[in-house]
Structure formats: structure tokens, C-alpha cells
Structure 1
Amino acid sequence: MAIGAYEVKSDFLRRWRDRGLAEGEAKGEARTLLRVLAARGISVPEDIRVRITECTDLDQLDAWTDRAATATSIDDIFE
């Protein structure tokens, strides 16, 4: 039996699949940002942690991660 990629033909299922993929990508980006902050020794207050983990805007998460690479404090990221 050959196993291949299943092609979703239903618009309804495609929308839900795409939504799930986008949510998963955002969670991964948020996790990466939190790891960068931890590696840099930057403390993350709970309200900022919630803001990061609830964010679904990939461009915003990318911008925060870029700033985190050179930040010396949490204020350098969330101005």
C-alpha cells in the first residue's frame, strides 16, 4: 500500500487545515522568541509572556524576535 500526501478537496477542511497550520507556526515562533529571550538572560514578565504566546501575527513575532537578538532588556523589544 502506497502512502502519499492526502489532497484536501473540501474548502471547509482546507480552511481548517490552513488555520491549524498558521496557529502551529505562530506557536513555534512564540516559542522561539521565548527561547531567545531566555538564552540572552532577559526576564519576561507574565503579561509579556501572555502577549507573546497569544500573538498570531507572524510578522509581529518575527519583528520581536529580530529585536530580541540584540536587546539588553525587555523594553528594547516592546517599546
Structure 2
Amino acid sequence: MAADLSFFQSETAQSLRAEGRAEGRAEGRAEDILLLLERRGVVVSEGERARIVGCGDLDVLGVWFSRAITASSVAEVFGETE
């Protein structure tokens, strides 16, 4: 008896896979930001770490990553400087 595998080709399944890929990219980008800051000697508090890891917006994470290249504090990464 053949199993019905139509769900795996359905629009719902494709959407779930795409969502999973986006979440994976966001997690990877957050890890990249944290590693970059660590290697540059920028201190990251637990709250700041949670904010970075909890962000799922790839556009925001991209901006943060770019800022992390030259930032001397996490506040600069978040754009919270005066």
C-alpha cells in the first residue's frame, strides 16, 4: 500500500519549509553578530544577547551586523547612540 505523500508537496508544507529556512538564517545571523562582537572585545549583556537572538527580522539583523563591524558598544549596534 502506497503512502499518501501529497501533504509534503502542498502549499502549507512549502510555506512551513520556507519559514524554517528563514528562522535558520536569522539564528545564524544572530550568532554571527554575537561572534563578531565577541572577537572585537565588545561586552554583550544577557539582555542584549537575548534581544539579538530573539530578533527574527533578517533586515534588522543585517543592519545590526553591518553596525557591529565598527561598533564599540552594543548600543551602537542597536542604533541607540546620541
Compute the TM-score of the two structures, normalised by the length of structure 2: 0.83
Which residue does the alignment assign to 2:35? 35
After the TM superposition, list the runs of 4 or more consecutive aligned residues in structure 1 that deviate by more than 6 angstroms. none
Residue 56 of structure 1 is matched in structure 2 by 56
Compare the two structures and name the one with the higher helix fraction.
Answer: 2
CA distance in 2, matches of 1:75, 1:13: 39
Computing the radius of gyration over CA atoms, which structure comes out larger, 1 or 2?
Answer: 2
Q: Give the TM-score of the pair, scaled to structure 1.
A: 0.86
Count of aligned positions: 72
Structure 1 Cα separation of the partners of residues 63 and 27 of structure 2: 15
Q: Distance in 1 between matches of 2:64 and 2:46?
A: 16
Sequence identity (%):
43
2:56 is paired with a residue of what secondary structure? coil
- Inter-partner Cα distance in structure 1 for 2:75 and 2:55: 18
Structure 1 counterpart SS, 2:9: coil
Give the SS at the match of 1:77.
helix
Backbone CA RMSD of aligned residues: 0.9
Greater RCO, 1 or 2 (C-alpha within 8 Å, sep 6+)? 1
Separation in structure 1 between the aligned mates of residue 74 and residue 29 of structure 2, nearest angstrom: 17
Q: Indicate yes or no: 2:44 matched with 1:44.
A: yes
